[in-house]
A = this chain, B = another copy of it.
Amino acid sequence: MGRWEPGARERLERAALELYVERGYEQATVAEIASRAGLTERTFFRHFADKREVLFSGQSELLETCVNTIVGAPESATPLEAVAAALQATSARFEQRRELSRQRQTVIAAHSGLQERELLKLASLASATADALRRRGVAEPTASLTAEAGVAVFKVAFERWIGEPGGQTFSELIRDSLDHLKAATAG
């Protein structure tokens, strides 16, 4: 088995999610994950610090995409338009991963420690988004409120997306959820 097994990271992730769903997150071991992926434990630890990191390793990339898109949005963009562009930019990395995302959500929903971790992740996303808006010169409380509204749209669109097999894309559901939010807060 080569040191740089091609696709090892993806195989480990798929194997881990399958095992977490089948046997429960607490019960699954790194040895089992590696074995199901046809790799060694050493290879697992080359890619992930522990069992939990398989579920949360995409976080920093998500934050970075979001912040860069907001900071780089055209000067003419309103705060909400900048946040909408950021959500659209994040959607690309999800579209091919609906089944994995659904498995991940099942595992997280079954484990309160993972739920808390997921909520912290979303809170970090809101706080990084507000910070990026302030760097564009958006004043408070608009920066924080727009950021929180953006995360709300992300959450709701994500739940709709993983709950609707074969339905709309994540990108379409972000747009649609944003339209519903605008309608709900108008008038």
A residues apposed to B, CB below 8 Å: 78-80, 112, 115-117, 119-120, 123, 140-142, 144-146, 148-149, 151-153, 155-157, 159-160, 176-177, 180-187
Contact = CB atoms under 8 A, between A and B. Distances in A.
Count this chain's copies in the assembly: 2
Scoring A79, A119, A176, A177 by chain B CB atoms within 10 A of each residue's CB, the highest score goes to A119
B177 A145 contact: yes
Contacts of A185: 80, 146, 149, 181-182, 185-186
Scoring A112, A152, A160 by chain B CB atoms within 10 A of each residue's CB, the highest score goes to A152
A106 to B, nearest CB: 17
Contacts of A119: 116, 119-120, 123
Contacts of A80: 184-185
A153 B145 contact: yes
Given A119-B120, A120-B119, A184 B142 contact: yes
Nearest to A155: B148
Scoring A80, A155, A184 by chain B CB atoms within 10 A of each residue's CB, the highest score goes to A184
Nearest to A159: B144
